[in-house]
A and B are shown apart, each in its own frame.
Chain A
Amino acid sequence: MQLHNLTIREAHELLTTKKISSVELTQATLQRAHEIDPKIKSYVTITDDVALKQAKQADERIAKGENVTPLTGIPFAAKDCISTRDIRTTCSSKILEDYVPQYNATVINKLADAGAVLMGKNNMDEFGMGSSCENSAFFNTHNPWDLDRVPGGSSGGSAAAMSASLCSFSLGEDTGGSVRMPAGFCNVTGIKPTYGRVSRYGLISLVSSFDCIGPMTRDVYDCATVLETIAGHDEHDSTTFNSPVPQYNQNLNKSVKGMTIGIPKEYFVSGMEAGVESSIQEAIRTYEKLGMKIQEVSLPNTQYALPVYYLLLFAEASSNLARFDGTRFGLSISENAKDVIDIYLQTRHEGFGDEVKRRIMLGAYALSAGYYDAYYLKAQKVRTLLRRDFETALASVDILLAPTCPTTAFKLGEKTNDPLEMYLSDIYVVATNPAGVPALALPCGFSKGLPVGMQLIGKHLDEQTLFQVGHAYQQETDWHKRLPPL
């Protein structure tokens, strides 16, 4: 039995029947991480001490039979934009290379309360800005399915770590596909929940109005388990919903027969890799076999999704990143500074990577007097149209189905010189974030040996249906069970 390959559900079963201990599971996973990750480079920080301590505590909980949850004793990793007390949290940026938060993100506290075991922090595109993990200021992460290829981004480290079984689940963060796109590239399951379903408190903001923390797991069942644990209202985050969190796994096996899947026609135009398209078509057929109805729907404003997404991202990010000024935490370069402005300039010049600087400048421009109406305000108006697109389309169907990316994982370095080309890889995943709706990504096949991902997009706060439909698919297929040849 290879402990690191266990799903959460399988591990939980073994833990609670005392066939294995959390210390054993954690040690096995840590050992694998130390062995394999030098090739993948999915972790920025591995927290052996914390993990073993928490594993021991989990074992005590299990021994006493007290407060044992489905995540007690399960090792996980978190994207490095999620604050962890006393454990450095870098956003894969030089400006935060040595930053150690004084407090835990709400999701980290919730997982700690549930008894989950923190293994470490995952590499990402700096501050979440990128689609390949190549914008990490530290190093590239490699796709476990082909080490010459990118894992996707920006949660590339979290996807690769999950894919390579270097944790039992990971927490990604999806601002415009950052969970789903790498999930597709790395053959894992991941969800971008409804905006406001999971607290952002302690998540280092990229785009406050888009950011969603979401689990990345081996399968839908595990995904539902983790989301149920981390979701819910948080008094520290005014944008979280007050509505109760369903027990997602209770209704996972409900039949999908008679439900309707909408296929957004705008997503099936030129530019999609043949192998991706055929995998998606195959998935649609699988659903037909399960008795679901397929209906073409329209998201008429799709062509505006990318510009709207990036404009709002630039604008909010330019403001969100203002606090990195070298005066209170993180990198501070004050040598030879004549005044405080010099400290700002030097610190930010040295601390931020090119892509971050590019986006801050674009955002400051879009918000400045004289341009605000033409850019920011216009984008917000179109954002409303995007939201309506989804509302309208989802009024006549239960869920939407689409690819997560027009291609499979591309080669390292392939798109780094062309930011626009890189932005286009997010074409299918960005629109959900301005709209706020949830979307579940899951493996649906392979193209030339590389994983293909699809996403199911649902109604506001209706993660339940996504899990139900996703689970039904995973009962029929075994794509999600395939592991990379490491």
Chain B
Amino acid sequence: MKLTYEPVIGLEIHAELQTNSKMFCACSADYSNAPEPNTFICPVCTGLPGALPVLNKKAIEQATLVGLSLNCSINEFNTFARKNYFYPDLPKGYQISQYELPIASKGYLDVLDDTENPLRVVVRRVHIEEDTAKLAHEKNYALVDFNRAGVPLLEIVSEPDMRTVEAALSYATKIRAILRYLGVNSGDMEKGVLRFEANISVRPSGSSELRKRTEIKNLNSFRALTRASAYEIDRQIKVYESDGEVVQETLGWDEARGVTVSQRGKEDAHDYRYFPEPDLPPLQLDRTWIDSIKDQLPELPDAKTQRFIKQYELKRQEAILLTSEKSLADYFEGVVFKSNSPAKTIHSWIAGEFMRYMNDSGVALEDIKLSAEQFAQLIDMVTDKTISSNSAKVVLNEMLKSGGDPQEIVKAKNLAQVSDTGFIQEAIEKILSDNPKEVEQFLAGKETIVQWLMGQVARATKGKADPNVAKELLVKALEARRK
């Protein structure tokens, strides 16, 4: 019988913090908006002789928020350490990081695995470090831009608790959502503010051993994380199946070729010579200070999902969709607050036409021209039958594209729904006399033809006919032709 294998996956997530200044100096951390290379720099972040680091309080606050959100214990006494290695993007020849006593440790995050079953991923530690400079490789040389050097970076390290690529993706996605909820990271992976490293090994299903693992570095998108992990799992299984040995090594991901590539083996692995950073005294966090940070914690995705299910009587998946982004959840609640329609209806509008527009147009929620209040008015017009839902879709798209007041658009486009039986009756009579064949079919017993005829009515009345009234009149008119 052929052996089946089970992947063992752990993730390290590097997230830049969204502070105004860098981790250890007063330079702007907004390097992606720097006018040109090497403009947001000073003696500290370029590692000039004699320059010394000073902690960024905001970064400590944000790191604490993240630690608390991931159910970690916050270490009241934590220390910084030097990670020593030579590379041109590391001006001091060491990175200031945290080693023995990180700011947060021993937390967890509950996610759903590929079978939608709950999975608790243990978060081993969260620590603060500084980002490196950026290298631009030219033909015979490389240029260094220090604008990014010293930007605060958080490293979130999980235990190898994930058994499927889907679970790893679910964990990574949730971490990103939490970071965005906390306002500490934009989650903009194209800009590199969030990077993944996957530790992967495979073992025979059912076994509890931990086999040699490989580490895939610098995964800059969910797609890369998914593809690289899947590829690597497959590769390792093939190695074992051909009686080979997996080598413990660091890998890179070649996006174009879709393969992992060896970067360096264990034999030449770095010895980082960690030791406590003598330029920074240990950081003592006061219990009351930690509590005050705890008070700043916003409602996080899980709690919000639960509340939405309960408060708005949504299905789990509906609530998860709405709470995937804080801005979306806020928008939804904004519409609910301004509207008299049921929350479920509002969910349908947001999950349907609204999100379709956003996906198609690529417009971010922050840039949407439609206010929650206007959206609420529009939905209420459907609920109170002022307009048909088809008309409302037209109005919604108009508002999303160009903004504007829903009532005015309805008026301008003459879309108000009509319950005037005379007007509708007139339209029906014309349709029935224009389509004798269909009338015949109905009379012969094909009742489904009513739907088609209703469509004709809607078209003829430009969607303004109240569908209930129209249907009643249509059926009556058809029956009248039986004689």
Across the interface, name the chain B residue whose C-beta is closest to A365.
B273
Task: List the 4 closest pairs (A to B, CB-CB), nearest first.
Answer: A322-B93, A208-B278, A367-B273, A209-B278
Question: By the criterion CB–CB under 8 Å, are A327 and B144 in contact?
Answer: yes
A-B contact pairs, 22 of them (CB 8 A): A83-B49, A89-B49, A101-B43, A101-B48, A101-B49, A102-B48, A200-B50, A205-B49, A207-B278, A209-B278, A236-B52, A237-B52, A319-B84, A319-B93, A319-B94, A323-B48, A327-B144, A328-B47, A341-B86, A368-B271, A369-B273, A376-B275
Distance A204 CA – B54 CA, assembled complex (angstroms): 16
Question: Within B144-176, which residues are at the interface with A (CB < 8 Å)?
Answer: 144
Question: Within B35-69, which residues are at the interface with A (CB < 8 Å)?
Answer: 43, 46-55
Distance A372 CA – B55 CA, assembled complex (angstroms): 26
Judge whether A384 is part of the interface by a CB distance below 8 angstroms.
no
Distance A327 CA – B92 CA, assembled complex (angstroms): 11
Question: By the criterion CB–CB under 8 Å, are B279 and A208 in contact?
Answer: yes
Judge whether B281 is part of the interface by a CB distance below 8 angstroms.
yes
Question: By the criterion CB–CB under 8 Å, are A323 and B54 in contact?
Answer: no
Distance A82 CA – B50 CA, assembled complex (angstroms): 8
Question: By the criterion CB–CB under 8 Å, are B84 and A201 in contact?
Answer: no
Question: Given A83-B49, A205-B50, A316-B278, 17 other A-B contacts at CB below 8 A?
Answer: A82-B50, A99-B49, A101-B48, A236-B52, A239-B52, A239-B278, A239-B280, A239-B281, A315-B275, A318-B84, A318-B273, A319-B82, A319-B94, A322-B84, A322-B86, A323-B91, A328-B47
Contacts of B278 in A (CB 8 A): 207-209, 239, 316
Across the interface, name the chain B residue whose C-beta is closest to A344.
B86
Distance A200 CA – B51 CA, assembled complex (angstroms): 9
Q: What is the 8 Å Cβ interface bit string for chain B, positions 257-301, against chain A (1 contact, 0 not)?
A: 000000000000001011100111100000000000000000000
Judge whether B455 is part of the interface by a CB distance below 8 angstroms.
no
Question: By the criterion CB–CB under 8 Å, are B49 and A364 in contact?
Answer: no
How many residues of chain B get a CB closer than 8 Å to chain A's CBs?
30
Question: By the criterion CB–CB under 8 Å, are B55 and A323 in contact?
Answer: no
Q: What is the 8 Å Cβ interface bit string for chain A, positions 305-324, against chain B (1 contact, 0 not)?
A: 00000000001101101111
Distance A340 CA – B86 CA, assembled complex (angstroms): 10
Question: By the criterion CB–CB under 8 Å, are B279 and A239 in contact?
Answer: yes
Judge whether B342 is part of the interface by a CB distance below 8 angstroms.
no
Question: By the criterion CB–CB under 8 Å, are B271 and A323 in contact?
Answer: no
Judge whether B204 is part of the interface by a CB distance below 8 angstroms.
no
Contacts of A239 in B (CB 8 A): 52, 278-281
Residue of B87, B144, B275 contacting most chain A CB atoms (<10 Å):
B275
Question: Within B319-364, which residues are at the interface with A (CB < 8 Å)?
Answer: none
Contacts of B118 in A (CB 8 A): none
Question: By the criterion CB–CB under 8 Å, are A325 and B86 in contact?
Answer: yes
Judge whether A202 is part of the interface by a CB distance below 8 angstroms.
yes
Contacts of A89 in B (CB 8 A): 49
Judge whether A238 is part of the interface by a CB distance below 8 angstroms.
yes
Across the interface, name the chain A residue whose C-beta is closest to B277.
A208
Across the interface, name the chain A residue whose C-beta is closest to B93.
A322
Contacts of B92 in A (CB 8 A): 322-323
Question: Within A284-326, which residues are at the interface with B (CB < 8 Å)?
Answer: 315-316, 318-319, 321-325
Judge whether A164 is part of the interface by a CB distance below 8 angstroms.
no
Q: What is the 8 Å Cβ interface bit string for chain A, positions 322-351, against chain B (1 contact, 0 not)?
A: 111101110000000000110010000000
Contacts of B142 in A (CB 8 A): 340
Min CB gap B33→A, angstroms? 24
Judge whether A103 is part of the interface by a CB distance below 8 angstroms.
yes
Min CB gap B42→A, angstroms? 8
Instruction: Check A319/B273 contact, CB under 8 A, given A325-B86, A328-B46.
Output: yes
Question: By the criterion CB–CB under 8 Å, are A322 and B51 in contact?
Answer: no
Instruction: Check A329/B88 contact, CB under 8 A, given A238-B53, A319-B93.
Output: no
Across the interface, name the chain B residue whose C-beta is closest to A367.
B273
Min CB gap B394→A, angstroms? 61
Judge whether A457 is part of the interface by a CB distance below 8 angstroms.
no
Contacts of A321 in B (CB 8 A): 93
Judge whether A105 is part of the interface by a CB distance below 8 angstroms.
yes
Residue of B46, B49, B82, B93 contacting most chain A CB atoms (<10 Å):
B49
Across the interface, name the chain A residue whose C-beta is closest to B135.
A340
Question: Within A53-106, which residues are at the interface with B (CB < 8 Å)?
Answer: 82-83, 89, 91, 96, 99, 101-103, 105
Judge whether A179 is part of the interface by a CB distance below 8 angstroms.
no
Contacts of B91 in A (CB 8 A): 323, 328
Question: By the criterion CB–CB under 8 Å, are A322 and B50 in contact?
Answer: no
Across the interface, name the chain B residue whose C-beta is closest to A208.
B278
Residue of B48, B82, B84 contacting most chain A CB atoms (<10 Å):
B48
Contacts of A367 in B (CB 8 A): 84, 273-275
Min CB gap B84→A, angstroms? 5
Residue of A201, A202, A322 contacting most chain B CB atoms (<10 Å):
A322
Question: By the criterion CB–CB under 8 Å, are B275 and A319 in contact?
Answer: yes
Min CB gap A298→B, angstroms? 29
Contacts of B55 in A (CB 8 A): 238
